[in-house]
A and B are shown apart, each in its own frame.
Chain A
């Protein structure tokens, strides 16, 4: 089955700087890669996703890049703000819209230092 590894497990960034979280996956058939954000004591929420026919996707300060050859994808957050502090989970799936095969990484705790 799919195996998703996520690094780093913790990350501290000065407010205003950029943060990068990286994930690798094992199954070359995976074609859907979402990122979820979980603030302390709250539910995980989708913040951005990318499909295998796209190499990069941006949404304001958040961007995700995908390298299918190397089987890795990354989350980039620019101009970080205190509200970006949370745990971020990457995931990979064999299906564009079905979640039965969605495999999550272990999460990255991002702390923004004011």
Chain B
């Protein structure tokens, strides 16, 4: 299944490093998301790109910087992270109908397999 692919699958970085997570979707969707999944916590929405515009950032620290060059690709740039940022970062896409006149779809979130990040 290659609908939403994420790279790298695992990443270990020091607090002073700069790295990027990449997500690509092959489903023709118009919305892409970054979620953070930590143990015993709900899935936390970090960023939403709808029609390539960022519509939600949920007060995420500036050490996380998203980039969406087109509707199929989404990046999460990481710099000067903290150990508590260690988590599974999930990318997702969907066909978003929140705008009138948009194409039809279920709104279902299609997730990638995640990038497991460890900050030392």
Report the minimal beta-carbon distance from B3 to chain A, rounded to whole angstroms.
9
Could you say which residues of chain A place their CB within 8 Å of the CB of B95? 97
Chain A: number of interface residues, binned into ranges: 20 to 34
User: DSSP majority for the B interface?
Assistant: loop
Q: In the complex, A98→B30 CA distance in Å?
A: 11
Q: Are A99 and B42 in contact (CB-based, < 8 A)?
A: no
Could you say which residues of chain B place their CB within 8 Å of the CB of A43? 4, 90, 111-114
Using a CB-CB cutoff of 8 Å, which residues 61-94 of chain B contact chain A?
Answer: 90, 92, 94
Stretch touching chain B among A66-74, A76-84, A101-109: A101-109
Q: Are B98 and A89 in contact (CB-based, < 8 A)?
A: no
Q: Are B42 and A98 in contact (CB-based, < 8 A)?
A: no
Given contact pairs A43-B90, A105-B42, A106-B41, A97 touches B105 in the complex (Cβ within 8 A): yes
Could you say which residues of chain A place their CB within 8 Å of the CB of B94? 99
Q: Are B45 and A102 in contact (CB-based, < 8 A)?
A: yes
Q: Are A99 and B114 in contact (CB-based, < 8 A)?
A: no
Given contact pairs A42-B113, A44-B111, A104 touches B42 in the complex (Cβ within 8 A): yes
Q: Are A4 and B97 in contact (CB-based, < 8 A)?
A: no
Using a CB-CB cutoff of 8 Å, which residues 53-94 of chain A contact chain B?
Answer: 89
Could you say which residues of chain A place their CB within 8 Å of the CB of B113? 42-43
Could you say which residues of chain B place their CB within 8 Å of the CB of A105? 42
